[in-house]
């Protein structure tokens, strides 16, 4: 640990999610023995969010199972976790976080404020029972609504929408999904692989309405309306403090490759961090579980004097019906030349997105032994398999 890290008066982490929890945990693992405080607005200890749209909705786990550590662990590691406390402003001159319960000085401040679901007026004003999915309470409420024969309307065919559709069909609900694009997930996967997800859901009895804008009439008689049209990073606190924040999509707090903001004493991690990614050569913001964990660890490294750049390839996973999938890499704004695939989508299946003869993204479905191989394929020539017809740019 560097002398600078030893001299830190304290580390304050704003945000009680997975990213913030991993900053605190990793600081202790690295031997940092100064005060560490987590400020969390929710009335819960830090928890993981992926189970909320997966195993919790399927009834396989409870929301309690998503908790990162219990109370005793945080006490044993001398981490002050303040639940139900909201940060309202940052005084950078005095190096103080102002909360709704007082003030807290910091040596280093870490912003891990996450994101929140985008609201949809047509749903909110429809009079139907509307659900958004972000918190423990959201997940428990939605689980109760997914019942046999319930009429469930899902707005948005992204990862959350399709995972909810899978859970709803598992519960025996009648499911309709409205997606404005021509295919679900097409902006991420391209038409070649996105079509396979469309087929998967239709085969499971989902009424998938593509290229469609939902109207109030479409929501009449619905027992449950789920809005999953994407998240918005919570950057208000950073912006009000005068930190550099992107005002155009994808938004986020601008950070360097060590997750420092425009103020060297303030870092940002997780959903809000718009990082200058070393190997991708552009800024990226990643809203997934793996990024929250790994950026949390990397921020702890920066605080304790490790000058290693955060260069991890983006990663996410999904579970839908009997399909489990992992995706590595990032296609980016320049698109790709081809998608090369092997196997059948109902397993085992592999796909590589190729640009200028190099793999820029890879995925496996129901082929868990391939995970390391797929991750390692990024930045290399693709394996010798036949390209799928079609291109995206």
Q: What pLDDT was estimated at residue 4?
A: 45
What b-and-e string marks burial along 182-196, b requiring 16 or more CB atoms within 10 Å of the CB? ebbbbeebbbbbbbb
| Mean pLDDT along residues 241-259 | 96
Segment 246-251 long-range contacts (CB within 8 Å, at least 24 positions apart):
246/274, 246/283, 250/274, 250/285, 251/285
Q: What is the pLDDT of residues 346-380, one digit of tens each?
A: 779 999 999 999 999 999 999 999 999 999 999 99
Q: Is residue 311 part of a domain?
A: no
Same domain, 353 and 251: no
- Sequence-ordered list of residues with C-beta below 8 angstroms from that of 309, at least 6 positions apart, any chain: 257, 258, 278
Does the pLDDT value for residue 6 go beyond 90? Answer: no
Q: Is residue 315 part of a domain?
A: no
Helix residue ranges per DSSP H, 63-127 = 71-76, 121-124
Same domain, 289 and 143: no
Q: What pLDDT was estimated at residue 383?
A: 87
Same domain, 143 and 199: yes
Does the pLDDT value for residue 389 go beyond 60? Answer: no
Does the pLDDT value for residue 154 go beyond 70? Answer: yes
CB 21 within 8 A of CB 38: yes
- Strand 349-355, strand 338-343: pairing: antiparallel
Does the pLDDT value for residue 255 go beyond 80? Answer: yes
Read off the pLDDT band of 8 (50, 70, 90): low
Read off the pLDDT band of 345 (50, 70, 90): confident
Does the pLDDT value for residue 391 go beyond 50? Answer: no
Same domain, 8 and 107: yes
Q: What share of the chain in percent tops pLDDT 90?
A: 93
Closest by CA to 132, choosing from 224, 17, 233, is 224
Which of residues 89 and 393 earns the better pLDDT score? 89
Q: Strand pairing partners for 117?
A: 231
Of 200, 227, 254, which residue is a domain's last? 227
- Strand 224-227, strand 130-131: pairing: parallel
Closest by CA to 122, choosing from 229, 249, 232, is 229
> Two tokens at 58?
């399927």
Q: Is the dihedral of CA 239, 119, 22, 13 positive or negative?
A: positive
Host H or E run for residue 284 = strand 282-284
Q: Is residue 31 part of a domain?
A: yes
Q: What is the DSSP letter of 17?
A: S
Same domain, 260 and 365: no
Does the pLDDT value for residue 1 go beyond 60? Answer: no
Read off the pLDDT band of 3 (50, 70, 90): very low
Does the pLDDT value for residue 238 go beyond 90? Answer: yes
CB 328 within 8 A of CB 347: no
Same domain, 143 and 161: yes
Question: Which of 3-17, 20-34, 67-81, 193-207 has the least mean pLDDT?
Answer: 3-17
Same domain, 265 and 326: no
Calculate the average pLDDT of the chain. Answer: 94
Domain that holds residue 124: 119-227
Q: What is the pLDDT of residues 271-297, one digit of tens each?
A: 999 999 999 999 999 999 999 999 999
Read off the pLDDT band of 392 (50, 70, 90): very low
What φ, ψ does residue 348 adopt, rounded to 5°? -70, 145
CATH number of the domain at 326, please.
3.30.390.30
Of 227, 247, 275, which residue is a domain's last? 227
Q: What pLDDT was estimated at residue 386?
A: 58
| Mean pLDDT along residues 180-187 | 96
What 3-state class would DSSP assign to 163? helix
Concatenating the DSSP letter of every residue in 301-317 gives HHHTT------PPPEEE
| Mean pLDDT along residues 62-70 | 95
CB-count exposure of residue 237 (10 Å: 0-12, 13-18, 19+): buried
Q: What is the pTM of this model?
A: 0.93
Does the pLDDT value for residue 18 go beyond 50? Answer: yes
Q: What share of the chain in percent tops pLDDT 70?
A: 96
Report how far residue 306's alpha carbon sits from residue 215's, in angstroms, rounded to the nearest whole number. 52
CATH number of the domain at 172, please.
3.50.50.60
Of 193, 227, 261, which residue is a domain's last? 227
> Two tokens at 83?
């639940």
Same domain, 290 and 341: no
CB 147 within 8 A of CB 172: yes
Q: How many domains does the chain have?
A: 3
Same domain, 104 and 246: yes
Q: Is residue 281 part of a domain?
A: yes
Same domain, 160 and 215: yes
Q: Is residue 316 part of a domain?
A: no
Q: What pLDDT was estimated at residue 387?
A: 57
Q: What pLDDT was estimated at residue 243?
A: 98
């Amino acid at each position: 640990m560097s002398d600078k890290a030893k001299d830190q008066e304290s580390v304050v982490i704003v945000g009680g999610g997975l990213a913030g929890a991993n900053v605190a945990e990793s600081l202790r693992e690295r031997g940092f023995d100064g005060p560490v405080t987590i400020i969390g607005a929710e009335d819960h200890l830090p928890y993981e969010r992926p189970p909320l749209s997966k195993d919790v909705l399927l009834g396989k786990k409870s929301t309690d199972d998503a908790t990162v550590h219990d109370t005793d662990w945080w006490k044993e590691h001398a981490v002050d976790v303040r639940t139900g406390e909201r940060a309202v402003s940052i005084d950078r001159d005095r190096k103080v976080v102002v909360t709704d319960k007082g003030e807290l000085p910091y040596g280093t401040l870490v912003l891990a404020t996450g994101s929140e679901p985008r609201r949809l007026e047509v749903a909110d004003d429809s009079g139907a029972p509307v659900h958004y999915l972000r918190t423990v309470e959201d997940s428990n409420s939605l689980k109760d609504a997914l019942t046999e024969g319930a009429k469930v309307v899902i707005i948005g065919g992204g990862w959350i929408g399709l995972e909810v559709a899978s859970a709803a069909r598992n519960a025996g609900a009648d499911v309709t999904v409205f997606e404005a694009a021509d295919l679900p997930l097409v902006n991420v996967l391209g038409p070649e692989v996105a079509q396979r997800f469309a087929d998967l859901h239709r085969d499971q009895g989902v009424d998938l309405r593509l290229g469609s804008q939902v109207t109030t009439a479409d929501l009449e008689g619905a027992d449950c309306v789920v809005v999953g049209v994407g998240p918005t990073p919570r950057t208000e606190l950073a912006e009000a403090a005068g930190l550099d924040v992107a005002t155009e999509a994808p938004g986020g707090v601008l950070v360097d490759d060590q997750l420092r903001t425009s103020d060297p004493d303030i870092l940002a991690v997780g959903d809000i961090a718009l990082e200058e990614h070393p190997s991708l050569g552009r800024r990226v913001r990643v809203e997934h579980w793996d990024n929250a964990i790994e950026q949390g660890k990397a921020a702890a490294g920066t605080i304790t004097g490790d000058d290693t750049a955060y260069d991890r390839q983006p990663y996410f996973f999904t579970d839908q019906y009997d399909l489990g999938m992992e995706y590595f890499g990032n296609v980016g704004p320049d698109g790709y030349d081809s998608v090369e695939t092997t196997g059948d989508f109902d397993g085992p299946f592999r796909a590589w997105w190729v640009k200028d003869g190099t793999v820029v993204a890879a995925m496996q479905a129901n082929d868990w032994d391939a995970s390391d191989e797929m991750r390692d394929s990024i930045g290399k020539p693709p394996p010798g398999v036949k390209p799928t017809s079609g291109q995206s740019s």
